Amino acid sequence: MSQVLIQDLNIRFGGNEVIQKLKLEVKAGEFLVLLGPSGCGKSTLLHSIAGLNPISGGRILIGGQDMSTAPPSERGLGMVFQSYALYPHMSVRDNLGFPLRMAGLPKDEKDRRIAKAAAMLQLEPLLERRPAQLSGGQRQRVAIGRALVREADLLLLDEPLSNLDAKLRTELRRELKQLHARLGNTMIYVTHDQVEAMTLATRIVVMYQGEILQIGSPAEVYERPSSLRVASFVGSPSINHLPGEMRAGQFCAGPLQLAGPSAKAGAISLAVRPEDVLIGADQPFAGVVDLVEPLGNQHLLWMSAGDRTVCAVLPGQAGLAAGDTVRFGFDSQRLHWFDEAGQRLG
Ligand SMILES: Nc1ncnc2c1ncn2[C@@H]1O[C@H](COP(=O)(O)OP(=O)(O)O)[C@@H](O)[C@H]1O
Ligand SMILES: [Mg+2]
């Protein structure tokens, strides 16, 4: 069953088309992540689902009902904003209860929901505290709790972890995933962080300049990016991009030559993930090490071959240093080819 159905959505601010003819189906119970660079229209799309900004064209259906022009309160969803603000003079309990007081819920029901959200987010010992007496992660949990108390089937989250430091972010990320597994509700989650998208999503929607480039499971988006843009956005360190051309059945990119995907002559691109770059005496290409970046359990090796730079990620500690010569090659099963326009070949 589809929880949210977006048909030919247009959103304009003045003369600026931020979302163009966007189509999207969100299935009940999925954790859908909208991923894209800053300014691509993720928040705008999320706000339009919530009813917080008017749409210029198209339709938004929630639970099968046309909600294109319905006010936010009628859409039956909870939202966690990018810049959440807790009421500083209210306790955690009152902050959690605030949306319910607005909805005029009886006290019993209000207390039950606050207790449930507090238990789920481990806020029970903190209920009488003020926001100023909480850590950043605890405040963020209260902000999520305020959306949970609505007990809506649909939860919208706009970069909810972006204000936290790296360690807290990974902790809360795990908690969110477990929360989704327990609640079984539908989540639409906005982020520009591809690691968050990969770890949380059942499906990722990759956006760019108001359009959807690709929709797929994290594995699909990573293993079979539909375009060079998606390939480059997903994965860290970034995929190696080697523009080149087909010549007599061989792909040539600077000094690198290998069997190409087609016999046709012309410009194409090869992209290879750093973990698919192989190092060894029997490998076909000669490189010079420019830089080694140790990461503890693995290291990044940046190499030059003529005018081309290639990054490899390798296990353990590096036995190489800048200036060393190496032989490298690519895992032939894991090559990504793109045409001149950056669209995937094969
Ligand atoms: N209320 C608004 N008025 C005018 N332009 C806006 C408004 N909200 C967003 N935009 C523009 O829409 C584009 C997408 O913004 P946004 O959805 O916030 O991007 P993202 O969340 O992906 O970073 C940006 O170019 C932004 O400047
Ligand atoms: Mg945003």
CB distance 41 to ligand 1 below 6 Å? yes
Residue with tokens 């009813």: 51
**Given this model, what pLDDT does residue 31 score?**
97
**Ligand nearest to the Cα of 81, by number:** 2
Q: Is residue 204, in this structure, part of any structural domain at all?
A: yes
Q: Is 301 in contact with 289 (CB distance < 8 Å)?
A: yes
pLDDT for res 262: 80
Domain holding 291, by residue range, is: 240-338
Q: What is the pLDDT of residue 1?
A: 63
CB of residue 44 inside a 6 A radius of ligand 1: yes
The total domain count for the chain is: 2
Determine which residue's CA is closest to atom 25 belonging to ligand 1: 39
Same domain, 252 and 330: yes
DSSP string, 68-87: TT--GGGS-EEEE-TT----
**Residue 129 shares a structural domain with residue 277:** no
| Rounded distance between C-alpha atoms, residue 131 and residue 206, angstroms | 35
* Domain stops at, among 205, 233, 261: 233
Residues 270 and 289 in one domain: yes
Per-residue model confidence (pLDDT) at position 36: 96
The angle formed by the CA atoms of residues 16, 21 and 24, to the nearest 5 degrees, is 125
Ligand 1 in reach of 113 Cβ (< 6 A): no
250 and 153, same structural domain?
no
- 292 and 315 belong to one structural domain: yes
Whether residue 138 sits in one domain with residue 199: yes
Residue 134 in any domain: the answer is: yes
What torsion do the CA atoms of 122, 123, 125, 130 make, to the nearest 10 degrees? 160
Note whether 126 and 258 are same-domain residues.
no
Question: Residue 104 domain-assigned?
Answer: yes
Each residue's pLDDT expressed in tens, for the chain with a length of 346 residues: 679 999 999 999 998 999 999 999 999 999 999 999 999 999 999 999 999 999 999 999 999 999 999 999 899 899 998 777 899 999 999 999 998 887 788 999 999 999 999 988 889 999 999 999 998 888 988 999 998 898 889 999 999 988 788 888 888 899 899 989 988 999 999 999 999 999 999 999 999 999 999 999 999 999 999 999 999 999 999 999 999 999 988 999 999 999 998 877 789 999 999 999 999 999 999 999 999 999 999 999 999 999 999 999 999 988 899 999 999 999 999 999 999 999 999 8
Q: Would the CB of 13 count as within 6 Å of ligand 1?
A: yes
The residue out of 175, 203, 233 marking a domain boundary is 233
Which one of 233, 257, 283 terminates a domain?
Answer: 233
CA of 46 to the centre of ligand 2 (A): 9
pLDDT at 120: 83
Residue 318 covered by a domain: yes
Assess whether 256 and 216 both reside in one domain: no
- Same domain? For 209 and 327 the reply is no
Residue 98 domain flag: yes
In a domain, 345, yes or no: no
Shared domain check, 196 and 315: no
Helix, strand, coil share (%) of the chain residues, nearest 5: 30, 35, 35
Which atom of ligand 1 is least distant from the CA of 210? 14
* Residue 94, Cβ density class (10 Å: 0-12 exposed, 13-18 middle, ≥19 buried): middle
Ligand 2 centre and the CA of 343: distance in Å?
27
The answer to whether residue 22 sits within a structural domain is yes
| pLDDT (0 to 100) of residue 269 | 96
What tokens appear for 77 in the block? 């969803």
CATH number for the domain harbouring residue 312: 2.40.50.140
For ligand 1, is residue 83 a contact (CB within 6 Å)? no
232 Cα to the center of ligand 1, angstroms: 23
CATH number of the domain residue 211 falls in = 3.40.50.300
Residue at 343 is within a domain:
no
> Which one of the ligands is nearest to 37 CA?
1
d(CA 189, CA 251): 40
- The C-alpha atoms of residue 63 and residue 65 are separated, in whole angstroms, by 6
What number does the ligand 1 atom closest to the CA of 53 have?
1
Assess whether 161 and 208 both reside in one domain.
yes
- 40 within ligand 1 shell (Cβ under 6 A): yes
Q: What is the pLDDT of residue 324?
A: 97
Q: Determine the atom of ligand 1 nearest the C-alpha atom of 207.
A: 22
Q: 44 alpha carbon to ligand 1 midpoint, in Å?
A: 6
Q: Whose CA is nearest to atom 3 of ligand 1?
A: 13
Closest alpha carbon to 233 in 242, 224, 222: 222
Do 158 and 280 share a domain, yes or no?
Answer: no
Please indicate whether residue 42, judged by its CB atom, sits closer than 6 Å to ligand 1.
yes
